[in-house]
């Protein structure tokens, strides 16, 4: 039984083959870290990614070429995904210098760009429109919660309204979008998380990436967790809320991810079920089967 409208199936159908999405560092910064909005960043932001070592990265083109050469026996289509930080935080010229060379690599069929709702200008929207006419384009925006009180508590440095307006502007240009959401943020009850799903269903966002709250070492959340201020989901609790969340989305919205994963070697502290992705996905699917979970059935 298909419980939800999976992005993976959509992309396979759209391109007629499996496509590998390749996470890359674009070398951009973030206004919530560089002092424009704050120096603290989101409370879940992994500080180690701001270390000088992380800044000395290979060019995005070299990062992509290395992955293509390792995986070309299995894949012949690739989507570079500019993931960390805010990849529209710069001038159009700076964005072009990073994006355009990636599109020239053979077998690249599009580009996915992760960013924040407050990192756009008219010139950037115009450029993204132009880009979308030339290739497959997906813009991924961090939202995390549909509640301003939670965004404030997590020091996100933007509002739900800014997310709505960026999504509407991108939708007017028929650009595909994704909302990143975290379930289990401090101060949120089940009802608030469901309301976030209902909010997402009410705006023209094409897809959703859903993550459980994880504690990563070096983050502000680690300190709060050590003080006993954060409650984490068991896999069963998470699956239950995830089902309700998905049921409240629109049936057409693409589900990119139903959980996040990490490893203790990469700083994961808790919950440890996050380290075993395939076993955890199996548990989630079993609970979805039992619950008869179906995307969109709670839509009014």
Residue 108 has φ and ψ, to the nearest 5°, of -80, 120
- 32 touches ligand SF4 by CB under 6 A: yes
Q: With respect to ligand SF4, which residue has the nearer C-beta, 140 or 247? A: 140
**Which of the ranges 27-35, 190-198, 243-251, 285-293 carries the binding residues for ligand SF4, by CB under 6 A?**
27-35
Print burial letters for 66-100: b (CB count within 10 Å at least 16), e (below 16).
ebbeeeeeeebbbbbbbbbbbbbbbebeebeebbe
Q: How far apart are CA 233 and CA 225, in angstroms?
A: 13
Q: How far apart are CA 169 and CA 225, in angstroms?
A: 37
Interface mask (CB under 6 A) for ligand SF4, residues 72-91, using x and -? Answer: -------------xx-----
- 221 touches ligand SF4 by CB under 6 A: no
Q: Which of 11, 24, 45, 178 binds ligand SF4 (CB under 6 A)?
A: 45
Q: With respect to ligand SF4, which residue has the nearer C-beta, 66 or 149? A: 149
Shortest Cβ 109–ligand SF4 spacing (Å): 26
Question: Rule CB under 6 A: which of 141-160 touch ligand SF4?
Answer: 142
Q: With respect to ligand SF4, which residue has the nearer C-beta, 118 or 261? A: 118
Shortest Cβ 150–ligand SF4 spacing (Å): 14
Distance between first and last Cα of the chain: 23
**Which of the ranges 2-10, 28-36, 182-190, 215-223 carries the binding residues for ligand SF4, by CB under 6 A?**
28-36
CA neighbor of 184 nearest in space, from 250, 248, 242: 242
Determine contact, residues 194/146, Cβ cutoff 8 Å. Answer: no
- 33 touches ligand SF4 by CB under 6 A: yes
Q: How far apart are CA 95 and CA 114, in angstroms?
A: 12
Q: How far apart are CA 83 and CA 62, in angstroms?
A: 16
- 117 touches ligand SF4 by CB under 6 A: no
Q: With respect to ligand SF4, which residue has the nearer C-beta, 85 or 163? A: 85
Shortest Cβ 5–ligand SF4 spacing (Å): 26
Helix axes 235-247, 190-202, angle to 10 degrees: 30
- Footprint of ligand SF4 (CB under 6 A): 30, 32-33, 41-42, 45, 85-86, 116, 142
């Amino acid at each position: 039984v298909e419980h939800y409208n999976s992005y993976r199936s959509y992309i396979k159908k759209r391109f007629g083959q499996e496509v590998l999405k390749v996470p890359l560092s674009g070398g951009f910064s973030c206004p919530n870290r560089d002092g424009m909005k704050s120096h603290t960043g989101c409370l879940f932001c992994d500080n180690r990614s701001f270390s000088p070592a992380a800044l000395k990265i290979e060019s995005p083109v070299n990062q992509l070429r290395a992955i293509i050469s390792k995986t070309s026996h299995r894949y012949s289509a690739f989507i570079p995904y500019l993931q960390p930080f805010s990849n529209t935080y710069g001038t159009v010229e700076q964005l072009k210098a990073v994006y355009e060379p990636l599109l020239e690599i053979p077998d690249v069929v599009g580009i996915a760009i992760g960013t924040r709702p407050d990192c756009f200008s008219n010139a950037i929207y115009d450029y993204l429109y132009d880009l979308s006419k030339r290739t497959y384009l997906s813009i991924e925006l961090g939202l995390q919660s549909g509640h301003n009180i939670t965004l404030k508590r997590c020091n996100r440095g933007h509002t739900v309204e800014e997310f709505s307006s960026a999504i509407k502007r991108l939708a007017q240009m028929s650009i595909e979008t994704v909302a990143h959401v975290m379930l289990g943020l401090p101060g949120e009850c089940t009802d608030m998380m469901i309301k976030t799903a209902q909010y997402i269903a009410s705006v023209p966002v094409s897809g959703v990436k859903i993550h459980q709250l994880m504690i990563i070492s070096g983050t502000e959340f680690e300190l709060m967790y050590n003080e006993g201020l954060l409650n984490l989901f068991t896999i069963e609790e998470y699956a239950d809320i995830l089902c309700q969340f998905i049921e409240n989305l629109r049936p057409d919205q693409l589900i990119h991810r139903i959980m996040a994963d990490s490893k203790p070697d990469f700083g994961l502290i808790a919950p440890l079920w996050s380290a075993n992705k395939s076993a955890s996905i199996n548990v989630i699917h079993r609970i979805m089967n039992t619950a008869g979970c179906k995307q969109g059935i709670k839509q009014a």
